[in-house]
Amino acid sequence: MTFAELLDTQWSDYSERHRNRVNLMIHIVTVPLVWIAAIQAAGALMLTLIGVGGIKILIWAAIQIAIALFAQNYGNGMEAIKPAPFTNAKDFALGALAEQFVTFPRFVLTGGWLRNLQAAG
């Protein structure tokens, strides 16, 4: 499956799989956390490559990403229709990357997040 096909598949039922109020709130907080941590990780890698250090920042960024993804997984468990499980590490990495940087932002920008939050009561 190509990355474009993954995005299409993920988007096709994203709204139906993200309707729980708590899960929606978890995602609106944790997705930006992943973005911030990814920027920290990129900066830490650059610092490490030029020999200035940065390994502590890289570790902290990895911890932040892990916490965010754990929280999202917990929130997804609250959904009536659960997301499809990952089949392997590559599937997990590509799926998480797609959701964090493309699918969820698209969900917010198209109004799906707000519509589902309002419909959740």
Give, for all 121 residues of the chain, the pLDDT tens digit: 899 999 999 999 999 999 999 999 999 999 999 999 999 999 999 998 888 888 999 999 999 999 999 999 999 999 999 988 889 999 999 999 999 999 999 999 999 999 999 999 7
82-85 long-range contacts, Cβ below 8 Å, gap at least 24? 82/17, 83/17
Cβ proximity of 45 and 58 under 8 Å: yes
Q: How many domains does the chain have?
A: 1
pTM for the whole structure: 0.91
Is residue 63 domain-resident? yes
- If DSSP codes are grouped into helix, strand and coil, which group holds residue 84? coil
Is residue 110 domain-resident? yes
The whole domain housing 36 covers: 16-119
Contacts of 97 (CB under 8 A, 6+ apart): none
pLDDT confidence of residue 24: 98
Is residue 10 domain-resident? no
pLDDT confidence of residue 86: 86
Q: Give me the helix-helix angle, 21-49 and 112-119, nearest 10°.
A: 140
